[in-house]
Structure 1
Amino acid sequence: MIDLLSYGAFFLTMALTYAVICLGLNLQWGQTGLFNVGVAGFVAVGAYVSSILTTPAIDGRLGGFDLPIVIGWLGGGLGAGILCFLLGALTLRLRADYLAIATFGAAVVIQLTLLNLEGITGGPFGIGFIPRPFGGLAENPSLFAIANLGVLILLVLVSYFALQRLTRSPWGRVLRALREDEEAAKALGKDPVTYRLQAFAIGGFIMGLGGAAQAHFIGFIAPDNYMPTLTFQVWTMLIVGGSGNMRGAILGAVLVWAIWALSGSLVASVFPPDQQARAASLQIVLIGVALCLVLLLRPYGILGEAGTVRAPLRRALRRDLNSHSEGQKTDV
């Protein structure tokens, strides 16, 4: 029973770290329409900055700041947010597939930089001994896992309510207006580059925050953790849950991580150890099949934006049509 409780807490904690990352992508794509396929790079920046700030001194690698974990998380978020701001200032005038190519190239550059700057990042050996929240409870696995889960639940709630407030504000409505009809938004005096740059940077901050939390929960990071597969995972989570819906982003993260974890256990039991590469490929295939099924059955995702944006718009249009009809009857 204790082992089951610990595993459940471990599973949910990992899923919620992805939920935070997915919330950042939802702001960029779901609300603003920015096609960012460099998610893995921004998550890596958040993880590495936080790890460097909080780990003890190690010979041959930059570190030793030994700062509190909260400072590390904020530093990781700021690092990713600043990088997004700088990259966005150069690329946000590009559209659709051009922006995707630019962000993917940035992620590849980041991954290669982490791999080669051994004096800062540890190179291919990565960074270990990353402090975990409530590390003093490590002797009690169940209590330790539950305490960490509580921290991640709090982080997800804070991120969710902050982004929900932003997207429901006039600022958030401008983002959706730019996504749907840029020319109409520009006619109202809104600067597309400024608003998109703000959304891109804030989304990057949230991604970096999620990456930092994930690094401190796992306790070890390496460049191989931030391959393009991570970007594929996060995009699948957002599409399955429902792009444009904050609750959908969280739900999608939990569901897709469950499929990923269960399929990993399944293929590991089927394939021998010398065929693990084939097993990893099969995991991606299973995620792709799940994504296709969702797109066929629920084109907008399980909790799509239709329930949060399109439905209220339809009700408003229906009221206007009814009012117009009643006015015509009165005139007659």
Structure 2
Amino acid sequence: MIDLLSYGAFFLSVALSYAIICLGLNVQWGQTGLFNVGIAGFVAIGAYVSALLTTPETVDHLGGFGLPIMAGWLGAALATGFATFLIGALTIRLRADYLAIATFGAAVAIHLCILNLQSVTSGPFGIGFIPRPFANLADRPLAFSLANFALLAAVVLALYLALEHLARSPWGRVLRAIREDEPAALALGKSAVRFRLQAFALGGAIMGLAGATQAHFIGYIAPDNYQPILTFQVWAMLIVGGSGNNRGAILGAVVVWGIWALSGSAVASLFPAEQQARAASLQIVMIGLALCAILLWRPRGILGEARIMSRHVLRRSPPATPLPSTPSET
């Protein structure tokens, strides 16, 4: 029973770390319509920045700063937000598929930098011994797993409440106006480029925070962790949960991660160790079929986009004023 609870907490912790990435993508795509396929690169920036800030100087000979974990998380979000802002300043005027190509190219460039800057990132060997929250509970697996789950749940809840507030604010309404009808928003004096760039940087900062939480939860990172398959996973999570809906982003992360984990276990049991490449391919096929089934059932995602109204707009129509009676009715 204890092992089952420990695994359940571990499973949900991993799913919530993906939920943070989905919330960042939802700001970019769900709220603003920015087609970002460079997610893996932005997550990698956050992971490596936090690892370098918090890893002791003597570990892996990387010259880390040994800062507290929370300082690493904050630094990861700021650094990734700044990097995303710079990339967005060059690419944000591109449309749809052109922006997708540009962000994918940025992710590839980031991956190559991580792989080749061995004096900073340790190259293909990765960074180990990353400080983990609640390390004093490591000898008690259940308590350790529950503590990490509670921490990640608190981070997801805080982000959810903040993003819901932003979505209902004038800033969030401008983003949706630009997404739905850019000429009308421009006619009202709104700068589409400026608002898109803000949303792009905010989403990137959230993805960087997610990378930092994953790095400290696992305790080890390497370039292979940030392959394009990560981008596919996050997009699948957002689409399944419901693009434009923060609750859908969280639910989609849990559902798709569950499908991913269960299909991986099922495929691994069918193939011997020497056929793992074939097993990985079959796993992707199984996930694709599961996603198709979900989207055939709910084309807009499990929850779909929620209609957001300003707090200044009445949610219920006022009672209709009765028309004055005519002489024929008296």
Q: TM range, normalised to the smaller chain?
A: over 0.9
Q: How does 1:16-35 map to 2 (within 5 A)?
A: 16-35=16-35
Measured after TM superposition, the shift of residue 10 of structure 1 is 0.5
**Pair 1:77 & 2:77 matched:** yes
C-alpha distance in structure 2 between counterparts of 1:45 and 1:188, whole Å = 37
- Residues 60 and 4 from structure 1, CA distance in 2 versus in 1: closer, same or farther, beyond 3 angstroms? closer
Corresponding residue SS for 1:97: helix
Q: List alignment gaps of at least 5 residues for structure 1.
A: none
The alignment's TM-score, normalised by the length of structure 2, stands at 0.93
Moved over 6 A (4+): none
**Pair 1:286 & 2:286 matched:** yes
C-alpha distance in structure 2 between counterparts of 1:269 and 1:136, whole Å = 35
2:161 maps to: 161
Measured after TM superposition, the shift of residue 308 of structure 1 is 3.1
Q: Is the 8 A contact 2:29 2:35 kept in 1?
A: yes
Q: Is the 8 A contact 2:168 2:308 kept in 1?
A: no
RMSD: 2.3
Q: Is the 8 A contact 2:45 2:80 kept in 1?
A: yes
1:136 maps to: 136
Q: Is the 8 A contact 1:61 1:118 kept in 2?
A: no
C-alpha distance in structure 2 between counterparts of 1:287 and 1:61, whole Å = 40
Q: Is the 8 A contact 2:21 2:234 kept in 1?
A: yes
Measured after TM superposition, the shift of residue 61 of structure 1 is 4.3
1:5 maps to: 5
Residue type of the alignment partner of 1:308: R
2:307 maps to: 308
2:104 maps to: 104
2:198 maps to: 198
Measured after TM superposition, the shift of residue 80 of structure 1 is 1.0
Measured after TM superposition, the shift of residue 79 of structure 1 is 1.3
C-alpha distance in structure 2 between counterparts of 1:4 and 1:51, whole Å = 30
Identity over aligned pairs, percent: 70
Residue type of the alignment partner of 1:252: G
C-alpha distance in structure 2 between counterparts of 1:272 and 1:125, whole Å = 26
**Pair 1:125 & 2:154 matched:** no
> 1:241-268: per-residue Cα shift (whole Å, max 9, x none)?
0000000000000000000011111111
- Residues 125 and 265 from structure 1, CA distance in 2 versus in 1: closer, same or farther, beyond 3 angstroms? same
Measured after TM superposition, the shift of residue 289 of structure 1 is 1.4
Corresponding residue SS for 2:67: coil
C-alpha distance in structure 1 between counterparts of 2:94 and 2:254, whole Å = 33
Corresponding residue SS for 1:185: helix
2:297 maps to: 297
The alignment's TM-score, normalised by the length of structure 1, stands at 0.93
| Deviates most, 142-151 or 287-296 | 287-296
